[in-house]
Amino acid sequence: MTEPRTLLAADLDSQTLRVVRAIADTGSITAAAARLGYSQPAVSQTVRRLEQRLGMPVLTRVPRGALLTEAGDILARHAATVLRSIDSAAEELAKLAGLRTGWVRIAAFPSASSTIVPRLIERMSADYPGLRFRYIEAEPPEAVQTVRDHTADIALTFSYPGDPDDPHGASAAGLTATPLWREDMILILRRDAGAGLSPDASPLALDSLAGAGWIAGCPRCRGHLLHLCAAHGFTPSIDYETDNVSAVLAMVEAGLGVALLPSLALASVPLPANVVARHPATPDSRTVHLVSAEASHRVPAIAATIAAIDALDTSAWGLATARS
């Protein structure tokens, strides 16, 4: 004769409620067991355990089945609410799993904003109409930081060869950084500036521009330019600094200098008539990376987005698959 301690909500788990509800619906333990896919004793014992936890009977056994007691009625009534809520939770989760809902937050560098990102989101939205997206434009270090602090799920970054703080530095945390594409660096100069140097569309020796004025962009891009020129034996005179690609082109067009731009930056703005793009004689490139939290790969919407990034056709932007 165990002392019936005070009732705890912990005594009521959803499994038990499911059983009570099945009995209420079917009117017998045996039928409830059949409906739930259990053996009859399983249900019988579940009820018995419940009853001894509650300290009072939940159902009265009658010759052809079982009737709920008042306590059983209470349980069955609330079971409806509980199970309905659990079912709808399961349904929402199934929608997440089935990519019929979900958010994906993306961070990327400026020149991706007008190329890769819109194409990606367009594609994903077409394939999975339920998914929603957020986008934050950020330079690589900040973009990685957004992933690290869970402000974004996915970051697109770039790194120059030999870059000390390239995105791989992030992999120490739970982050992964995988190279996506190799992006050619292209020299931008006024048509007449390079006129005497070599035929129009052919590669151009970098050091032939040693004496030119230079227009540079973000700090890391400027750093790369300095590094690259040093390897070619000169120090560029960087006279103008701007991140703005249109501004760079206008400056070049105005004859203020030359620039070294990644091909993505050129993909979304038309080249002014008397401005030309020439590959350096010794090819130069940077690499676009995808940075994401390891754990997030199990989030269906994020995994699908990553897959879509991999599947993007980037040939129009001058991107080549990265060999890592």
Q: Which residues bind a copy of itself (CB under 8 A)?
A: 4, 6-15, 17, 51, 54-57, 60-62, 67, 69-71, 74-75, 77-79, 81-83, 85-90, 92-94, 96-97, 102-103, 149-150, 174, 293, 295-296, 298-301
Q: Which residue type is seen at 268? A: S
Nearest approach in angstroms of CB 137 to DNA is: 23
Residue 298 or residue 323: which is nearer to a copy of itself going by CB? Answer: 298
**271 contacts 263 by C-beta, under 8 angstroms:** no
Q: Which of 7, 25, 48, 237 binds DNA (CB under 7 A)?
A: 48
- CA pair distance 180, 133, nearest whole angstrom: 21
Taking CB under 7 A as the rule, which mask of x and - marks residues 119-158 in contact with DNA? Answer: ----------------------------------------
| Interaction of residue 192 with DNA, rule CB under 7 A | no
| Interaction of residue 38 with DNA, rule CB under 7 A | yes
Residue 23's SS3 state is: helix
Residue 43 or residue 229: which is nearer to DNA going by CB? Answer: 43
Instruction: Answer with the entry of DNA, a copy of itself, none that 31 interacts with (C-beta below 5 to 8 A by kind).
Output: DNA
Q: Which of 63, 129, 233, 270 binds DNA (CB under 7 A)?
A: 63
Of 269, 296, 270, 317, which is closest to residue 120 (Cα–Cα)? 317
| Interaction of residue 1 with DNA, rule CB under 7 A | no
- CA pair distance 80, 86, nearest whole angstrom: 10
| Interaction of residue 37 with DNA, rule CB under 7 A | yes
Residue 59 or residue 193: which is nearer to DNA going by CB? Answer: 59
Determine whether 175 is exposed, middle or buried from the number of CB atoms within 10 Å of its CB (0-12, 13-18, 19+).
buried
Concatenated DSSP letters of 171-211 = GGTTEEEEEEEEEEEEEEEETTTTTTTS-TTS-B-GGGGTT
Instruction: Answer with the entry of a copy of itself, DNA, none that 57 interacts with (C-beta below 5 to 8 A by kind).
Output: a copy of itself
| Interaction of residue 52 with DNA, rule CB under 7 A | no
Q: Which of 12, 28, 189, 284 binds DNA (CB under 7 A)?
A: 28
Of 320, 307, 312, which is closest to residue 99 (Cα–Cα)? 307
What Å distances lie between residue 35 and 21, 31, 84, 182, 273, CA to CA?
A: 11, 6, 17, 59, 77
Scored b (16 or more CB within 10 A) or e, 133-143 reads: bebebbbbeeb
H or E element: which one contains 316? Answer: none
What the block records as the tokens of 224 is 């790369």
Residue 49 or residue 84: which is nearer to DNA going by CB? Answer: 49
Q: Which of 17, 22, 24, 47 binds DNA (CB under 7 A)?
A: 47
**214 contacts 238 by C-beta, under 8 angstroms:** yes
| Interaction of residue 46 with DNA, rule CB under 7 A | yes
The Cβ-side half-sphere exposure at 287, using a 13 Å CA radius, reads 19
Nearest approach in angstroms of CB 64 to DNA is: 5
Specify the stretch interacting with DNA by CB under 7 A; choose among 1-9, 31-39, 234-242, 266-274.
31-39
Residue 175 or residue 180: which is nearer to a copy of itself going by CB? Answer: 175
Nearest approach in angstroms of CB 140 to DNA is: 18
Interface with DNA (CB under 7 A): 13, 15-16, 28-31, 37-42, 44-49, 61, 63-66, 172-174
